[in-house]
Chain A
Amino acid sequence: MAHNVQAELDALREGIYGGRGPGIDGEELERRTTLRPCVGNRPTAATREELRLRTMRARGEAEAAALEEVWAAQQRLGGGTG
């Protein structure tokens, strides 16, 4: 039991930054955080709006689809989506 618990916690600790923890610091972090938005450790152009949509998908595809329609309608009418 003790061994399993510690192995699980080791994995969580080491997985925070994908196994690259205390080594990534200072200039390396500053270089990374000035990059475009990331998803996980993969650079991407994901915007906050896209992340919101992704979150909604996680909560329910049907609800997200309905909201996409609402947002699309808002954009057609010239309204913002936040």
Chain B
Amino acid sequence: MPDFFPWWVVVTHFLNVFVMLLLARSGLEVLSAFPKLHWDDDCTPGREWLRLTRRRFSAEDPRPWSSLDEEEAWPSTVALPGRKNLGLGRHWHFMSIQFWIVTGAAYIALVIATGYWHYLVPTSWSIFPEAVRSVGSYLSFHYPPLLPGQPFNAVQKLSYFAVVFLLGPLQIATGAAMSPAILARFPWYARIFGGKQAARSIHFLGLCAFAAFVFVHTVMVIIHGVPKEFAAIVLGSYGASHPLALAVGLTGIFLILVFHVVVTWFSLRYRRRTQRMLGWMVNPFERVVSRAFTSRQQRRPAAVSPYHRVNGYPPTSAEYDALVAGGFRDFRLPVGGLVTAPGRFSLAELRDLGLQSQVTMHNCIQGWTATAEWTGVPLGALLDQVQPMSDADTVALYAFDDKGETEGEGRWGFFYSTIPLWLARNPQTLLVLEMNGGPLPVQHGAPVRLRVESQLGFKMTKWVRGIELTHGYAHIGMGQGGWREDQQFYANAAGI
């Protein structure tokens, strides 16, 4: 039996503590944007199985409400960075997960390569009754015996196995099942878990399981004796200097806490810099996922949700009101920029380009989903009409809604978004004119909205007022690629 832990166990254990705290806090930030958990992908208001907010909204609510009203501002002591910063919370989460996967992969590789797996992987069913006896020993205030020739008792070995080989991979797998790009290409993947919302629920329960494990794990360290356990955890040997182990271990914990305080403050104080710094690591990951998966959704008509949330309120301008009053007969969509044949298109002229219908699931960045049938013109068909020039690589969509008027919270300016030209030409990228067999409702973006099925909802501009083909997007708005990217620090690629 070894009386020590190899150096790589010590190092990966520390990195795990460091990264998992980042993951948990940033995950709570993401959860705070839609602090409700559902089992079914319709997310019918009032049918959540867990509601971590006092705010209640229903499909029959007489008040106008949008999904943004469901957001919570959780404190920075809990969430990273806290205070309704979903964009930065996602950046922290997706940056941390890359480190966690790398750390975990290195750990697993070394566990296998060095034979350490003998201490973690049960090889006999007898581990279960032995684990029950170990629990009984703890409950009767006795130390259970270690397994013969091993550093752990049976319940330790079983719980470490479950956390390393089951819970960790489950969290990664359910996390991937929330990516709109993956779900658009492989709709069956989420069904393994019972749907995207079930995956989201399991992901949350996984966090709870990790928290429970860490709590019990910590209590056990205290019961067994902090100086002795720290000697093994920090210096790799029970025989190492206890004072030195305590000093090193407590310094490590202190540094982790200081790091969290500093990055939380920095993220709130310098949000644009945080977006850029983390984006340097996260954006390539998002772009690869977005580019790799083309939407191939065709859900059953029966899957259409009875209630479809909306993120955001409709435009309030007199110009838009006049268009609504006139049934959008006077609406003309200007399409220009780096094209050889710019034009202004009426709704009838858009329809003449050929309509296409698709039943797809909407993935809001907040976390909710809903399914609808969308009918519209493939954006590719419109692009063929206006003939993009060779240096055009971006499609910018300008909207009617002044977010300062309809959203508040210190945000301002007219909504816009950009997507890459290759994404605009995907077969399921539509300029939508109808929803669920009827005219596109005002609250869902009438007269024209975008559908980009492999992306999160914030890329699907509603109330489209004009389309411009450009080279890049640095010259538009604040130069981040969209209004949410400008003002809420979202990533420009939205495939995760």
Take A9-B334, A52-B64 as given contacts and tell me if A15 and B414 are in contact as well, using a CB distance cutoff of 8 Å. Answer: yes
Contact assessment for B65 and A39 in the assembled complex, using a CB-CB cutoff below 8 Å: no
The answer on a CB contact under 8 Å between B465 and A12 is yes
When chains A and B are docked, how far (Å) is the Cα of A59 from the Cα of B321?
8
Whether B410 pairs with A58 at a CB distance below 8 angstroms is no
Known contacts being A1-B342, A2-B336, A22-B478, is A9 close to B466, with CB within 8 Å?
yes
Q: Indicate if the CB atoms of A33 and B487 lie closer than 8 Å.
A: yes
Interface string of B330-341 (1 = CB under 8 A from A): 000011110000
Known: A8-B466, A29-B272, A52-B65. A16 touches B477 (CB 8 A): yes
Q: Among residues 390 to 444 in chain B, which have CB atoms less than 8 Å away from a CB atom of chain A?
A: 396, 398, 402, 404-414, 416
- A29 engages B478 (CB within 8 Å): yes
Query: Counting CB contacts under 8 A, is B142 at the interface?
Result: no
Distance in angstroms from B427 CB to nearest chain A CB is 26
By the criterion CB–CB under 8 Å, are B334 and A40 in contact?
no
Q: Distance (Å) between the CB of A69 and the closest chain B CB?
A: 11
Among A13, A34, A82, contact of B69 (Cβ-Cβ < 8 Å)? A82
Q: Is the CB of B344 within 8 A of A5?
A: yes
Contact of B398 among A9, A33, A56 (CB under 8 A): A9
A17 vs chain B, min Cβ distance (A) = 4
Bound-state CA distance A1–B335 (Å) is 11
- Interface residue tally on B, bucketed by range: 35 or more
A70 located at the interface, meaning its Cβ lies under 8 Å from any Cβ of chain B in the complex: yes
Contact of B466 among A12, A34, A35 (CB under 8 A): A12
Q: How far is the CB of A57 from chain B (nearest CB, A)?
A: 8
CA distance A47 to B409 in the complex (A): 8
Assuming A34-B410, A38-B404, is B342 touching A2 (CB within 8 A)? yes
Chain A residues, CB < 8 A from B145:
none
CB < 8 Å neighbour of B412 from A12, A25, A26, A41 = A41
Interface residues of A in 2-27 (CB under 8 A from B): 2, 4-6, 8-9, 12-13, 15-18, 21-22, 24-27
* Minimum distance in angstroms from A9 CB to a CB of chain B: 5
A29 & B486 in contact (Cβ 8 Å cutoff): yes
B466:A55 contact, CB within 8 angstroms: no
| A6 nearest in chain B by CB position | B336
B313:A13 contact, CB within 8 angstroms: no
* Complex contacts, B342 vs chain A, CB 8 Å: 1-2, 5-6
Q: How far is the CB of A81 from chain B (nearest CB, A)?
A: 7
* Segment touching A, from B55-63, B170-178, B197-205: B55-63
Tell me how far the C-beta of B99 lies from the nearest C-beta in chain A, rounded to whole angstroms.
27
Name the distance in Å between A59's Cβ and chain B's nearest Cβ. Answer: 8
User: Is B474 an interface residue when CB atoms closer than 8 A count as contact?
Assistant: yes
Chain B residue contacts of A1, Cβ below 8 A = 342-344
The answer to whether B150 has its CB under 8 Å from any CB of chain A is no
Residues of chain A within 8 A of B406, CB atoms compared? 51, 55
CB within 8 A of A82: which of B57, B272, B316, B343? B57
Question: In the complex, are the beta carbons of B65 and A21 less than 8 A apart?
Answer: no
B contact residues around A6 at 8 Å (CB): 336-337, 342
Q: Judging by beta carbons under 8 Å apart, are B398 and A35 in contact?
A: no
Interchain CB contact under 8 A, A39 and B410: no
Q: Is the CB of B478 within 8 A of A25?
A: yes
Assembly CA distance A8 to B332 (angstroms): 11
Q: Does B468 contact A (CB under 8 A)?
A: yes
Query: Is residue A65 contacting chain B, with contact meaning CB distance below 8 A?
Result: no
With a cutoff of 8 Å between Cβ atoms, the chain A residues found around residue B321 in the complex are 58
| Interchain CB contact (< 8 A) of A51 among B407, B416, B487 | B407
Chain B residues, Cβ within 8 Å of A35 = 410
Decide: B478 and A21 in contact? CB cutoff 8 A. yes
A13 & B64 in contact (Cβ 8 Å cutoff): no
Pick from A5, A41, A58, A67: contact of B336, CB below 8 A.
Answer: A5
Asked if A25 meets B336 with Cβ closer than 8 Å, knowing A51-B406, A55-B406, the reply is no
Chain B residues whose C-beta falls within 8 Å of the C-beta of A29 in the assembled complex = 272, 478, 486-487
Instruction: Contact check, A51 vs B336: say whether CB atoms are below 8 A apart.
Output: no
Q: Is B271 an interface residue (CB 8 A)?
A: yes
Task: Give the residues in chain B near A2, CB-CB below 8 Å.
Answer: 336, 342
Give chain B residues whose Cβ lies under 8 Å from the Cβ of A59.
64, 314
How far does the alpha carbon of A36 sit from the alpha carbon of B314 in the complex, in Å?
A: 22
CB neighbours of B466 from chain A (8 A): 8-9, 12
B284 at the binding interface (Cβ < 8 Å): no
Q: A6-B342, A42-B404, A67-B62 are in contact. List 5 more A-B contacts (CB 8 A).
A: A33-B271, A33-B410, A46-B408, A52-B69, A59-B314
22 contacts between A and B (CB under 8 A): A1-B343, A4-B344, A5-B342, A6-B336, A8-B466, A9-B336, A12-B465, A12-B468, A13-B396, A15-B414, A16-B413, A21-B478, A26-B272, A29-B478, A30-B269, A33-B271, A33-B487, A35-B410, A38-B408, A52-B65, A55-B316, A67-B63
Q: Which 3 A-B pairs have the closest CB atoms?
A: A12-B398, A5-B336, A37-B408
Which residues of A are in contact with B by a Cβ distance under 8 Å? Answer: 1-2, 4-6, 8-9, 12-13, 15-18, 21-22, 24-27, 29-30, 32-42, 46-48, 51-52, 54-56, 58-59, 67, 70-71, 81-82
Binding site for A on B (CB under 8 A): 55, 57, 62-65, 69, 269-273, 313-314, 316, 321, 334-337, 342-344, 396, 398, 402, 404-414, 416, 465-468, 474-479, 483, 486-487
